[in-house]
Amino acid sequence: MDLDPRYLEVFFTVCREGGFGRAAAAMHRTQPAISYQIRMLEQQLGTQLVERGRRELLLTPDGKRLREFCERFFGEFGRLAASFSEGIPTYEEPLQIAAVSGFGRYVLFPLLSEPRFSELRYSLRFPTAEEVFEALEEGTCDLGVVYVPRVSRLLRVEPLRREELVLIAPPGFDVSARALQSVKAYESLPFITYDECEYVFGQWFDVLFGKQPATMRSVFHFEELEEVLGTVALGRGVSVVPDHVAAHAVQQGRVKVLRPTSRRVTNAIYGMLRAGAAPHPGVERLIEALRERQAPTRASRR
């Protein structure tokens, strides 16, 4: 294919500026010239990239795919060009990480705070799992961390580690473990819920009992897990959380872990990367460190 790379720059500028007119101003060209070059690019690629007849810029599915390619291409090209300049240090762009909150706050952030990562520049966000995938698809995230991977030719899945999901209760909780061996017993318990808890709760009940409670009484709901731990410690209810979230509170005696059966509910954590993209140098180091840090769960030690 005889593709003129200058057209890619024009297309990427249109995407970045949000329209033909603004792209023309940014590139000091006329709007008809920009429109002509986009049409030529579409002709060379044999597909439509931009929806016509709209006031706002709207990309077709192929246009979105090309925009993602341009983000990777021009980002890598810029870093490569900088590395060729003698005497000018190359400043690595920050590693963009989006992780589900519990794992991000209680595992990723402490790991990134260790001396071995002191020189790594990074941005760490705690969006919902759906927002993690959106960030990956939009090219605004180098590494996403989720509980459930998404199958896509655009994404690469890297298993990171496993965690145990545990039922936590206040120290004075007086219901016996034997009483909790029936799923019906949980219908009357006061639960402390949180954003993204549906998967955690569902997994815990499914593994232990093979079904979910007919009803669940949520007495408090929070966005973050810190408030969940504090409210459980105050004796207001129980909750199900990853073991690493509760570990410090358990050591302090603020909450306790209840195990109604001998089974352990383990859950996998996955790293998600954009397939085909040149990985940020810090990604592989971080993935390796997470795998090294994996402590054997109680289930695996039985």
pLDDT category, 76, cuts 50, 70, 90? confident
pLDDT in tens, 3-12: 777 899 999 9
Same structural domain for residues 132 and 142?
Answer: yes
Same structural domain for residues 118 and 256?
Answer: no
Please identify, among 56, 84, 112, the residue that sits at the C-terminal boundary of a domain. Answer: 84
Same structural domain for residues 35 and 63?
Answer: yes
Strands of 39-139, DSSP E: 95-99, 122-125
Same structural domain for residues 272 and 252?
Answer: no
Q: Are strands 265-274 and 256-258 parallel, antiparallel or unpaired?
A: unpaired
302 occurs within a structural domain = no
Query: In Å, what is the CA distance from 137 to each residue of 62, 72, 264?
Result: 13, 12, 34
243 occurs within a structural domain = yes
Cα 39 to chain centroid, rounded = 36
φ/ψ of 86, rounded to 5, equals: -70, 140
pLDDT on residue 299:
36
Write the CATH number for 181: 3.40.190.10
Same structural domain for residues 260 and 271?
Answer: no
301 occurs within a structural domain = no
pLDDT on residue 118:
86
Domain that residue 211 falls in: 163-264
Number of domains forming the structure of the chain: 3
pLDDT in tens, 197-208: 999 999 999 999
Write the CATH number for 74: 1.10.10.10
pLDDT in tens, 184-223: 999 999 999 998 899 999 999 999 999 999 999 999 999 8
